[in-house]
Structure 1
Amino acid sequence: MVDRVEGGFVPAIATEPPRGGVADAVFAALCAAIADGSLTSGMYVHEGAIAKALGISRTPVREAVQRLRSLGLIDAQPGHHTRVAFITPERTAQALSVFVSLFRSVCLEVAPRAEASVIVPMRAALDAFGAARDAADDDGMAVANFGFYDAGIRASRNAVLQSAIEHVVYLIRLGGLQLPARIDVEAVHGALRGVLDGFEGRDASVAVGALDLLVELQIPR
C-alpha cells in the first residue's frame, strides 16, 4: 500500500523493519505496491518525501530506489525526476518467457511435495481470477494471477530462484498494465488450472505442461 505525498508516493512499511534493515523494508514495500497496482508506470518516487514521511534518513530510500533501478523498474536520471518505468510490450514478452523458464523449476521442486499450505492459496487465487474474469476486472485478474504464482514461489527452498523470479514478475506486472489490448484471458486461466492440477496431484510434469499455454500466449504489440 502507498500513500500520495506531494505529487509522489510513499510506501507503508512496518514500524519494526524486518531483518535486513530499513532499505530492504522500503524496497519490499515499493515492490508490493507495484504488485497490487498502487504504484504504476509514470508515477513519481520522491526519495526525500518518502524519507521525511517515514521518519528515516534518505540513505536507505536511495538504496531501495537504486535496487529497483537495477531491475529496470525505476527510471532515475541525474537532475531528473525519479519515476516508475514504462515497460514495452516487447520487454513484457521477454520477461514472460523468462518467468515461464524459472517457474518450471519451481514446479519441478515444489509440486512433488505440495501441501495444503501451497494448494489452498493457489485454489483461492484461481477462484478469485475466475470471479474477476467474469466481472471483466482486469486489475483483479492481475492481482489474482500474481497471488497464484506467488504461493508456489514462496514454497521453494531455493532463495536464488525465488529472488530471480519475483523480480521478473514485477516487470510483467508493470508491462501488463500498459499493453494496448487484453491478452488471452482463457489461456491464462487454463495455465492456472493446469498448474493447480499438477500441484494437487503432486505431478510436476502436469504443472510444467500447463505452462506451455503461457509460452504460446501472444502479447499485444
Structure 2
Amino acid sequence: MPVPRGPGLAPRSLLRDEAYRAIRDAIVGGTLAPGERLNDNDLVEWLGVSRTPVREALARLEQAGLVQTRPGRYTMVSPLDVRAARNAQSVTAAMHELAVREALPNLSADEIDVMRAANARFAEALRHDDVDAAIAADDDFHAVAVQASANQALRDVLEQFTPVLRRLERLRFSSLSGRESVAQHELIIARCEAGDVAGAAEATRANWETLAPLLDTDAPESTG
C-alpha cells in the first residue's frame, strides 16, 4: 500500500480514535484507493502506534463501511458502493435537519458569524475549484449547528455516515458542482438569524438533498 506522506501520530496520541481518524481521512481523501490492500506493518510504521490501536481502528472502519476484512486473508479499502452512499445521504440530511431544530433556539450571534465565515471560505474555494477546501468549509458550516445541538447521539450517527458520502463525492468528481450551495447556506443563515426554526431546518435538509443527483450515475449499486 502507498504510505501517505507527512508525519505520523505523536507518541502521546496512541489512541484508536486517532488511528481511526488518520486512516479514515486517507480513505476519504483518496490516498488509500478503493481495493487497496491495507498492511498492518505499513500502518503501524506510518502512524507510529502499536498493532492494537491499528486493528481496533480497522474494525471500526469496517463497521463504517470503509474497510473490508477477510480474516486470515486480507484487509482492504472497500470498493465504492453507490447504494450505501445514497443511504448515507438520506441519513445525513435528516440528522443535519434535526441538529438545526435542536440548536437554533440557543444559537448565538457569534455562532451565526462562524457559519457566515465558513460559507465565505466555501464560496472562495469553489471559485478556485479547490474541492478539498470546499468540502472542509462545508463541514465547518454545518458543524456549528451539530455542535450547538449538544446531541451526542446525533454526532455519532454523522461520524459514521458522513465519510461514506464525502468519499464518493471526492472520488467521483474532479470538480465540485455546488455553487448553488452558497446561496442555500445564505438562506439557512438568514432563517437562523430570524429565529425561524422550521424554515432553517427545511433549508438545511434541502441543502443536503442537493447531493442526491450526484449519486444518480450509471455506476453499479455495489462494486463489492
Structure having the higher helix fraction is 2
- After TM superposition, the score normalised by the length of structure 2 is 0.79
1:3 maps to what in 2? none
Structure 1 residues 23, 132: CA separation in 2 closer, same or farther (over 3 Å shift)?
same
Number of aligned residue pairs: give it.
212
8 Å Cα contact 1:119/1:200 also seen in 2 = yes
Gaps of 5+ in 2: 218-224
Structure 1 counterpart of 2:209, from 187, 194, 215:
215
Deviations 1:59-90 (A, max 9, x none): 11100111011110112333555333233333
* Distance in 2, Cα, partners of 1:47 & 1:117: 44
Deviations 1:38-76 (A, max 9, x none): 645325543222223444320111001110111101123
2:159 maps to what in 1? 166
Indicate the structure whose relative CO is greater, using CA pairs within 8 Å and at least 6 residues apart.
2
Structure 2 counterpart of 1:7, from 2, 6, 19:
2
Q: Which segment drifts farther, 176-185 or 63-72? A: 176-185
Structure 2 counterpart of 1:41, from 26, 33, 57:
33
- After TM superposition, the score normalised by the length of structure 1 is 0.80
Identity between Structure 1 and Structure 2 (%): 25
Structure 2 counterpart of 1:198, from 186, 191, 195:
191
Alpha-carbon RMSD across the aligned residues, in angstroms, is: 2.8
Structure 2 counterpart of 1:150, from 143, 149, 158:
143
Structure 1 residues 98, 80: CA separation in 2 closer, same or farther (over 3 Å shift)?
same
* Distance in 2, Cα, partners of 1:200 & 1:181: 35
Residue 119 of structure 1 aligns with an amino acid whose one-letter code is I
Which segments of structure 1 move beyond 6 Å, counting only runs of 4 or more?
none
Residue 132 of structure 1 aligns with an amino acid whose one-letter code is A
